[in-house]
Structures are given as structure tokens and as C-alpha cells.
């Protein structure tokens, strides 16, 4: 079977890439031309995540963390990793809810509800867990699931606030992001993996009321 190659235009240059090549692999070929990390891409004007694959001749415009869309994807992905780290350290059975309220500079402010004592030791463990995920470059994966399956999943994970929320959603399917078996719902695109999330250096948490 003959391999299929497509023409990819980046800037004023055209190159051939094999059908099925991820935009992530293509981005790696051009990363040296950019000061900041490439995290998303416009494919013929349509925003895509980098795990998507090449299916036709196209024009690519890379989005970095210096761009508004790229920066938002970075912050969103960091939120996913932070919540996963909290659940990893505290365990699902001890958490009722983790809520990220806003980010400040390079840090994050969130509250936790559950059977947890927010000591400096706990925060240090969360920080170390996040650094470990970055070092291991855990992939951030995306899947589309039926809303009923999402409701069941959140119920199993003890994330009852999202379980209740999805009972009122009228759409039939939702996008779920996962990192090393931890699953959560986010509206908006993510970076490809935890290795991109290396610039935040502090978090602030308070016990939820």
C-alpha cells in the first residue's frame, strides 16, 4: 500500500508530511523558530489541538503560550494537573469538592471541601506531585462521551457537584480530559502533556466553607 503525503504550508514554506502525522510532531519541526512553546494550531483557520492528525493539504498557523488562546489552554491544563495532584495526595474518598477560583501571577487559588487538613506538609506534597507529573510528561488525553456516561463517571469518582451539573445539560455528548486515569470536564482546549506545564511555582489553598 502506497503511503500518502500531504503538503503543509507554514508561513511561506511548504513541506510534505505523511498522512496521519500529528500536529504535535509537525510542531516539533518548527518549535526552534518560536521563543515560546507551541500548544495549539490553526488548520486552515480552524483552531485544533495538537493530538489531531493530518488528513489533507493545509495551511498551519501555530499558537504559542505567548498568544491569548495558547495562554488560556496552558492555564486550563495547569488547573487539570492541580486538581489531579490534590486528589492523588488526599484520595477521592476524602474530597467532596475542589474548586479553582482564579489564578494570580504564576499561582493558583483554590478551595477544598472534605476531610482534609490543609497543612504546609499537604501543600508541599501537592507541589511535589505536580512536579513529578511534569517530569514524567504525562499525556493529556481527550475523549467524547455520552452525557449519561459522564454523569456515571463523576458519580463513581465522588465528584457529585459535576454529577448534578450534568443532569441538567441538554447536549448528548461532552468532552472529557484525562491525565493518567484521572478524568474531569473542562470547556476549552488543552496542551498536549504535563511537560508543557513547567512555569507555575506556587499554589494557595483554603478549606472550603
Q: Give the tens place of pLDDT for each residue, 52-69.
A: 999 999 999 999 999 999
Between 151 and 135, residue with greater pLDDT = 135
Between 178 and 102, residue with greater pLDDT = 178
Question: By the 8 A CB rule, do 11 and 42 touch?
Answer: no
Tell me, what's the pLDDT at 31? 98
Mean per-residue pLDDT, 96-104? 77
Tell me, what's the pLDDT at 140? 97
What CATH architecture is 5-64? Answer: Roll (3.10)
Domains 5-64 and 70-207 fall in the same CATH topology: no
Domain coordinates of the chain in residue numbers? 5-64, 70-207
Question: By the 8 A CB rule, do 87 and 183 touch?
Answer: no
Confidence of residue 207 (pLDDT cuts 50, 70, 90): low
Contact partners, residue 2, CB within 8 Å, separation at least 6: none
Q: How far is CA 65 from CA 51, 84, 206, in A?
A: 17, 22, 28
Confidence of residue 205 (pLDDT cuts 50, 70, 90): low
Tell me, what's the pLDDT at 106? 62
Confidence of residue 121 (pLDDT cuts 50, 70, 90): very high
Tell me, what's the pLDDT at 209? 40
Over residues 136-158, the pLDDT tens digits come to 999 999 998 888 888 888 777 76
Q: Is the pLDDT confidence value at 97 over 50? A: yes
Tell me, what's the pLDDT at 174? 83
This prediction's pTM:
0.86
Question: By the 8 A CB rule, do 116 and 207 touch?
Answer: yes
Q: What nine digits make up the cell of 207?
A: 478549606
CATH of domain 70-207: 3.30.980.10
Q: Is the pLDDT confidence value at 41 over 80? A: yes
Amino acid at each position: 500500500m502506497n503511503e500518502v503525503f500531504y503538503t503543509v504550508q507554514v508561513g511561506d514554506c511548504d513541506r510534505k508530511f505523511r498522512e496521519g502525522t500529528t500536529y504535535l510532531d509537525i510542531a516539533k519541526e518548527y518549535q526552534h523558530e518560536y521563543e515560546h512553546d507551541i500548544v495549539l494550531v490553526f488548520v486552515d483557520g480552524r483552531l485544533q489541538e495538537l493530538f489531531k492528525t493530518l488528513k489533507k493539504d493545509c495551511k498551519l498557523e501555530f499558537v504559542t503560550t505567548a498568544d491569548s488562546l495558547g495562554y488560556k489552554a496552558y492555564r486550563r491544563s495547569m488547573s487539570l494537573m492541580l486538581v489531579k495532584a490534590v486528589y492523588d495526595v488526599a484520595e477521592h474518598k476524602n474530597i467532596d469538592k475542589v474548586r479553582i477560583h482564579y489564578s494570580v501571577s504564576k499561582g493558583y487559588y483554590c478551595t477544598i471541601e472534605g476531610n482534609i487538613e490543609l497543612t504546609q506538609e499537604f501543600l508541599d506534597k501537592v507541589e511535589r506531585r505536580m512536579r513529578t507529573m511534569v517530569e514524567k510528561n504525562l499525556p493529556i488525553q481527550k475523549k467524547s462521551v455520552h452525557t449519561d456516561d459522564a454523569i456515571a463517571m463523576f458519580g463513581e469518582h465522588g465528584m457529585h457537584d459535576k454529577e448534578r451539573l450534568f443532569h441538567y445539560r441538554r447536549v448528548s455528548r461532552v468532552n472529557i480530559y484525562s491525565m493518567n486515569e484521572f478524568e474531569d470536564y473542562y470547556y476549552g482546549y488543552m496542551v498536549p502533556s504535563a511537560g508543557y506545564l513547567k512555569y507555575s511555582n506556587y499554589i494557595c489553598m483554603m478549606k472550603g466553607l
